[in-house]
């Protein structure tokens, strides 16, 4: 897992080995598991920045998913080591959008997706801006 520095964008790579229980009868990754792969990559990206969902929740902010887009290009297969590339391409405001590319061991693009999450003040149950600490951690990626 590692962070890639690009101008005005944060990109992070995370690897996941496909487990047998994540596949269907054909040995392909079951379509519903891609959303879980996206979540693993998102969580690990935040962790690489020195923060986490738990930290945000402890500070009164939750991040529910507002929408999800997923496009299947080729099947992922049992026991493959997949690379999930997740990026934030725009400085977040009340919403934050994550973009995903999943690459198989043969360096083939097998899936693309996006999720939009919204920052919500837990106490007020209303949208809010990202926590100041989180915004500060992203500053160097969006200059």
Q: How confident is the model at residue 5 (pLDDT cuts 50, 70, 90)?
A: low
Answer yes or no: are the C-beta atoms of 34 and 22 closer than 8 Å: no
**Domains within the chain, CATH numbers bracketed:** 2-141 (3.10.129.10)
Residues 91-109 have a mean pLDDT of 97
Structure-token pair, residue 115: 């999720």
Predicted local distance difference test score (pLDDT) of residue 142:
85
Is residue 67's pLDDT more than 70? yes
Rounded to two decimals, the pTM is 0.91
Q: Among residues 24, 58, 67, 133, which one is catalytic? A: 24
67: annotated active-site residue: no
For 23, 48, 104, 125, the CA distances from 93, given in Å and listed in that order, are 36, 20, 32, 17
Whole-number pLDDT of residue 96: 97
């Amino acid at each position: 897992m590692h962070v890639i520095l690009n101008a005005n964008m944060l990109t992070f790579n995370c690897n996941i080995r496909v487990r047998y229980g994540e596949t269907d009868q054909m040995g392909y990754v079951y379509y519903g598991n891609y959303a879980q792969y996206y979540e693993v990559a998102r969580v690990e990206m935040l962790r690489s920045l020195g923060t986490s969902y738990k930290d945000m929740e402890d500070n009164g902010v939750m991040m529910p998913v507002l929408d999800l887009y997923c496009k299947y290009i080729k099947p992922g297969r049992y026991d493959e080591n997949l690379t999930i590339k997740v990026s934030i391409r725009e400085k977040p405001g009340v919403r934050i959008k994550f973009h995903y590319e999943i690459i198989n061991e043969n360096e083939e693009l097998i899936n693309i997706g996006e999720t939009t999450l919204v920052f919500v003040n837990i106490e007020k149950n209303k949208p809010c801006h990202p926590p100041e600490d989180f915004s500060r951690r992203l500053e160097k990626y969006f200059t």
